[in-house]
Amino acid sequence: MEVGPDPAEVGRARRWARSRLVGSGIQGDEPLTETLILLISELVTNAVVHTGCPAVLRVLFGAGRVEAGTVRVEVADNCARPPEQRHAEGDDTHGRGLELVDGLADRWGWKAEGQGKSIWCEVDRGVPEAAYERGVARRLASVRP
């Protein structure tokens, strides 16, 4: 799906992704669906807000560890600047996107693609709760003195 450089496109990307997930047999009320929609929302928002460039959203089924039924999300843009993981403090309203991705995805990363880059994350279908619990544990560890 092509995404324009407009924050309003994030909602359209979420709706498109939800229909793709349901079309692949993942039920709309599964915890996995909500996890993937949040990840998609964060990656598309980062692309739109931080690059000002159009982006391409891809949702791939059966990627990675086939036995786990991995779902891979990729967002490619034409900005070569690498993603920067920030660490939000307290009431900060920005800087949590890649922190959420790191906490909720089983794996994530980025690679150069053409003149820009692609940021990707993977969630293993059998373990969305485990990914969520890992994310909570990481978040708690980062706020301990």
CA–CA dist 57, 77 (Å, integer): 9
Q: Hey, CA dihedral for 17, 35, 22, 125, is it positive or negative?
A: positive
Query: Which of 44-48, 77-81, 94-98, 107-111 comes out lowest in average pLDDT?
Result: 94-98
Amino acid letter, residue 9:
E
CA–CA dist 31, 29 (Å, integer): 6
Whether the model pTM is above 0.85: no
CA–CA dist 94, 103 (Å, integer): 16
The 10s digit of each residue's pLDDT in 16-56 is 999 999 888 887 777 889 999 999 999 999 999 888 889 99
Strands 107-113 and 55-61, by their bridges, are: unpaired
* The pLDDT value given to residue 93: 55
CA–CA dist 130, 111 (Å, integer): 26
* The pLDDT value given to residue 110: 94
Q: Name the phi and psi angles at 23, rounded to 5.
A: -65, -20
Using alpha carbons, select from 113, 58, 52, 108 the residue that is nearest to residue 80. 113
Evaluate if residue 95 carries a pLDDT over 80: no
Amino acid letter, residue 119:
I
Q: Where does the pLDDT of residue 65 fall: very low under 50, low under 70, confident under 90, or very high at 90 and above? A: very low
Q: Where does the pLDDT of residue 64 fall: very low under 50, low under 70, confident under 90, or very high at 90 and above? A: low
CA–CA dist 136, 103 (Å, integer): 7
Q: What mean pLDDT value characterizes the chain?
A: 81
